[in-house]
Chains A and B, each alone.
Chain A
Amino acid sequence: MLGYVARRLRATVFVLVGVSVLVFVMVRLIPGDPALILAGVDASREQAAEVRRGLGLDQPIWIQYARYVGRALEGDLGKSIHSRRPVWREIRDRFPATLELTMVSLALAGVIGVVVGVVSAVRRGSAIDSIAMIGSLAGVSMPIFLLGVLLIWLFSLYLGLLPTGGSPPCLFCVEHVRHLVLPSITLAGVSVGMVARLTRSTMLEVVHEEFVRTARAKGLAERIVIYKHALRNAMIPVVTYMGLQFGVLLGGAVVTEQIFSWPGMGRMLVEAIESRDYPVIQGAILFMASVFVAINLLVDLLYGWLDPRISYE
């Protein structure tokens, strides 16, 4: 196990280096001179040269990269061209809203997906199973923004029950929850069908295992067999999948935040692209990719801990 952890950590460090190289190269590939963008279009040649020196853009590319990584490790991701504030501060302000949205959606998708999956598996072939599986397929095929637009139309405009979007006005209040309902359902919609399908298929596999037959044979109630013996074992791949879905939802949050004007990092990223605010784009992508990598690592390690049968070769 320890050897596995070490190997997995080494691979993660390698991936993070790759991610940073890719993000660094991306910004170099953007057409236009970053010094000119920073100095402004009306800057003189001397001013531009000054900014270039200040940014270290006159140095060889690998030194630029080393400096960039060095600064990033110290938490210095540069300054926003737009707001002139440090990028890490922009991220710190915006990330909690994204994290909140993602976590709530993940919980929703998990609870609904597992319940639907288990019921379908237990009543395999019934009308409930068919409806649930058609629903899951529809959920998987639904463009996230269509779901968002449908929910806004129905609950905000037609029924007038919930706000169409925007930032919650306060932290701990009913209004906050009301603002969170539609975005989190929309984002959860991406995953709930997948979770339901996966739960159903792992449940169906587990039900045919010998330990389930043994549990039945020794006269346990069907309820206990299903919910205690089968479900627990079927949950291992589902839990792993949920962990990986966290990263997928982080990506989906970019769209959801745009639909509902949710004040998170995804919206910040899209705004930064619109205003060509390269330090923010670079910082936001690097940060989100790193979070994604860290979560994948955590899920892998957790998986090994949950299921000791797995060998790490």
Chain B
Amino acid sequence: MSSLFRGHRFAWAGLACLLLFVMAALLAPWIAPYDPLRQVIAERLQGPSTTHWLGTDQFGRDIFSRVLYGGRISLGIALLSVLLGLIVGGLLGLGAGYSGRLDGPIMRAMDVLLSFPAVLLAIMVVTILRPGVLTVIIAVGVRSIPAFARMVRGAVLVVRSLPYAEAAAAIGASHLRTITRTIVPNSLPPVLVFSTLQVANNILLAAILSYLGLGIQPPGAEWGLMVSQGRGWLRDAPHVAMMPGLAIFAVVLAVNMVGDGLRDRLDVKLKESGA
């Protein structure tokens, strides 16, 4: 591990910051000073103080506690949605790369998914399903599927043409063995780097859905939702919108710094894609 980010102070700083957020999210029930849903109207819209570190919102809820709990939602959704994209996209990519018959239909279907801007694709899923955490995970994860499928398919095609894959086939290795022993380990570096960057994008996309009122519903402590609710109090209490917004920014920045470091370290070339 110590050689992983050698010479990349940025990546280390990002990793430290990310770990801090993960710990905070995991330990939220123990370290949060207040119940994130508890409303104390008498204490509404207070600025940061020693009793409320990040102040209180329009219902007198403690913003620091809500930001801590919000981390569970945002990080959880991001990880699970990337996992969803990785598993579904990975299997499709394996199928396409391995079977000439499946290649065309699978990749054309991926082209169709890619022809929607990410926000629109997520909105479509949200329109069909009931609002909730699972819906947001699916809505955000669908966008990752075609990219992972393309990447894994590409890796399969490259690996299949390499001498050691031919050698594996020549000594009579089964398909399953070729996949698990040669193709998966060899497509791992780009998939790992891409997954990291995808976590960052998915945190942003999930927050956008909630900001639009299409993701996590009130009174949930989701960062994007908190910003959109705080938007109305910008004049008198800007911290209500800023604090959760800055939390998103910090955690996405941290993930991107780790992703950049991994990319340099593993020497992976990726096409950059926007949110």
Please report A residues at the B interface, Cβ cutoff 8 Å.
11, 14-15, 18-19, 22-23, 26, 29-31, 137-138, 140-146, 149-150, 152-153, 157, 190-191, 194, 197-198, 245, 247-248, 250-252, 254-255, 258-259, 269-270, 273-274, 281, 285, 288-289, 292-293, 296
Q: Are A30 and B127 in contact (CB under 8 A)?
A: yes
Contact assessment for B272 and A146 in the assembled complex, using a CB-CB cutoff below 8 Å? no
In the complex, the answer to whether A18 meets B112 with C-beta atoms within 8 Å is yes
Once bound together, how far apart are the Cα atoms of A296 and B114, in whole Å?
11
Return chain A residues, CB-CB under 8 Å to B116. Answer: 19, 285, 289, 292
Residue in B115, B238, B275 whose Cβ sees the most chain A Cβ within 10 Å: B115
The reply to whether A273 and B127 form a contact with Cβ atoms under 8 Å apart is: yes
> Which residue of B115, B119, B207, B253 is within 8 Å of A15 (Cβ)?
B115
Q: Which residues of B contact A270 (CB under 8 A)?
A: 212-214
Given contacts A15-B111, A285-B120, A288-B120, contact A141 B252 (CB under 8 A): yes
Q: Which of B228-243 contact A (CB under 8 A)?
A: 228, 230-231, 234-235, 238, 241-242
Docked-complex contact B274 and A191, CB < 8 angstroms: yes
Secondary structure of the A contact surface, majority rule: helix
Q: Which of A18, A251, A288 contacts B109 (CB 8 A)?
A: A18
Q: Are A251 and B227 in contact (CB under 8 A)?
A: no
Contact present for B275 and A252 (CB under 8 Å): yes
Could you say which of A19, A137, A255, A273 contacts B256, with CB atoms under 8 Å apart? A137
List the B side residues contacting A153 at CB < 8 Å.
234, 238, 241-242
B contacts, CB < 8 Å to A: 108-109, 111-112, 115-120, 123-124, 126-128, 200, 204, 207-208, 211-214, 224, 227-228, 230-231, 234-235, 238, 241-242, 245-246, 248-249, 252-253, 255-257, 260, 272, 274-275
Residues of A within 8 A of B207 (CB): 143, 145
Whether A143 lies near B245 (C-beta < 8 A) is yes
Complex-state Cα separation, A190 to B119, whole angstroms: 13
Write 13 A-B pairs (CB below 8 A) sorted by A numbering.
Answer: A18-B115, A19-B112, A22-B124, A137-B257, A138-B249, A143-B248, A149-B230, A153-B242, A157-B238, A194-B274, A254-B120, A285-B124, A289-B116
Q: B111–A11 contact, CB under 8 A?
A: yes
| Given A149-B231, A157-B235, A245-B274, A289-B213 contact (CB < 8 Å) | no
| Known contacts A18-B108, A149-B245, A248-B274; is-contact A143 B117 (Cβ 8 Å) | no
Contact in complex: B211, A255 (CB < 8 Å): yes
Are A26 and B127 closer than 8 Å at their CB atoms?
Answer: yes
In the bound complex, do residue A190 and residue B274 qualify as a contact, i.e. CB atoms below 8 Å apart? yes
Q: Which residues of B contact A140 (CB under 8 A)?
A: 256
Known: A198-B272, A248-B118. 16 other contacts (CB 8 A): A11-B111, A22-B112, A22-B124, A30-B127, A137-B257, A137-B260, A146-B246, A149-B241, A153-B234, A248-B274, A255-B119, A255-B208, A270-B212, A273-B123, A273-B214, A285-B116
Of chain A, the residue at the smallest CB distance from B227 is A145
Q: How far is the CA of A292 from the CA of B119 in the complex (A)?
A: 12
Do A254 and B227 have beta carbons less than 8 Å apart?
A: no
Cβ contacts under 8 Å, B252 to chain A: 141-143
A292/B117 in contact, CB under 8 A:
yes
The interface residues of chain A lying within 8 Å CB-to-CB of B249 are 138, 141-143, 146
- A146 to B245, Cβ gap below 8 A? yes
